Amino acid sequence: MRRLLLLAALLAGCGDPSSPPPGFELRIVPESLTVEATLTATLDLAWVDATGQVIPLRGRRVQWFSSDESIVDVREGQVQALEVGQAEIVAVLDTAVARANITVAVRYVTVAAGDYTCGVTRQGSLYCWDDPDDAPDRMDGPSPFRSVSVGSAGTAGTQWWLPGAFPATHACAVDTTGSAHCWGANGYGQLGDGTTDDAPQPQRVTGSLVFETVTAGSNHSCGITVAGDAYCWGLNSLGELGIGQVDQDAHPAPELVVEGLRWTAITAGDGFTCGLTDTRRIYCWGDGRYGALGDGSSSGARSDPAMVVGDHSWSHLDAGPRQVCGIDVRQDLYCWGGDPAGTIAVVPTRRDLQYYYRSVSAGGGETDDFACAIATAGQTYCWGGAHGQSGLFERYRPARPWAFVALAAGALHACGLTDTGLVYCWGAGYGLEPKVLPYQLPEAGDQTSRSR
């Protein structure tokens, strides 16, 4: 009681003290804080003793500094989170110094995986990363993005392109105005910007087309416009552009896919493409060596769309480098092409008789195919892969019912998106069990963020 009375008397006599009372030191409260990107937070300055006793301080002589103003800006204790990353906040009062650590995090609305991973945030920012322990890189763009697709480096067709040419990765995204943007390797014109120059940041796809969605394959890209037309650009040595011919020329601008079909979804693999029409049929074109065209053969190439075998009415599809998986309107799951056992399914083959599914994502490398799917009851299941992509989901026996709302299967890893905007990944570089990415903002009530 005497201690409290002494402190009260000190404050009453001096107002906000500018020098520390006996046993107190200057601190920023809180000393560690996570803020979602684009949002603000308030830091308080106080005298604090070893027992946790706090004397608030709102002196006007305080100077505030940020170690990285591109990540966090601070003015009179008000923090503005600008970019994903970490910064130290320093407050100086006369000769006393206090410090706090700020982490800027994001929440995602969509995620895509290939040789690396990208996500679009709730604010429309686009971030990409290839190391689970590093901060993601923010990609430039003229307006907010709404979707993204990441390719995996492939080999199909490159032997006919340029001697000594090595495949590399690219990615594409659509902004809120419907403009498509691509970046990365561009030796075959797969960025669609009218050149064959590589670009580290998104380049606008040439022309005036307004896209609903885009997809990045190994060395080509495709998109669907708001009118339902499909366009492709990039490498065409196996007919993967669907323009009715096979050639060795670069195609650095979108070209209309032949046959005049109306499309609702499109997905690109390693040297082939598949699309879903408004009549719920799937058509594929390009490299047929691994059965990915689903036309009953495992050889040759097609330069125009051909319907996948079977009287299926499809609702969803996704392609990996060598295989395609689709879900029909009855919510049955089928896959065709190169499969995890190294065999080839040349027509749609039902993968699982135990569950019904609502979405699927196919991934893998040239010889390491795998897939993940979300059942109608909400559980996530994965199969195949030799680098931990199946993780704790293997053999349809997940350790827990991970409640992901979307999946992204990459080359050697997979990621899941929760309904709260958190991204978890597993596989090469991440480990067998889903690992929440850093620089996100976990919520206490998030069922996937509990200790495991």
Walking along the chain (452 residues) 10 residues at a time, the average pLDDT comes out as: 38 52 89 87 91 77 93 94 91 91 92 95 91 84 92 65 53 97 96 96 97 97 98 97 96 97 97 98 95 91 96 96 95 85 81 89 83 90 77 52 89 92 90 85 54 30
Q: Are 320 and 369 in contact (CB under 8 A)?
A: yes
Q: List 365's β-bridge partners, or say none.
A: 368
Q: Which residues contact 31 (CB under 8 A, 6 or more apart)?
A: 99, 100, 101
Residue 187 to residue 234: CA distance in whole angstroms:
8
Look at residue 396 in the predicted model and tell me its pLDDT: 45
Look at residue 168 in the predicted model and tell me its pLDDT: 73
252 prior amide bond cis, ω within 30: no
Which phi and psi angles does 296 have, rounded to 5°?
Answer: 95, 0
Residue 275 to residue 256: CA distance in whole angstroms:
13
Q: Which residues contact 428 (CB under 8 A, 6 or more apart)?
A: 387, 388, 389, 412, 413
Q: Print burial letters for 244-281: b (CB count within 10 Å at least 16), e (below 16).
A: bebeeebbbbbbbbbeebebbbbbbbbbbbbbbbeeeb
Helix (H) or strand (E) holding 6: helix 2-14
Of 77, 89, 92, residue with least CA distance to 42: 77
Which spans in 345-437 are helix H?
Answer: none
Q: List 406's β-bridge partners, or say none.
A: 417
Decide: pTM greater than 0.85.
Answer: no
Is the dihedral angle over the CA atoms 331, 333, 334, 337 positive or is it negative? positive
- The neighbour count for residue 164, using CB atoms within 10 Å, is 4
Q: Whose structure tokens read 């349809």?
A: 396
Q: List 128's β-bridge partners, or say none.
A: 118, 137
Look at residue 367 in the predicted model and tell me its pLDDT: 64
Look at residue 238 in the predicted model and tell me its pLDDT: 96
Domain architecture of the chain: domains with CATH: 2-105 (2.60.40.1080), 108-436 (2.130.10.30)
Q: Are 96 and 20 in contact (CB under 8 A)?
A: yes
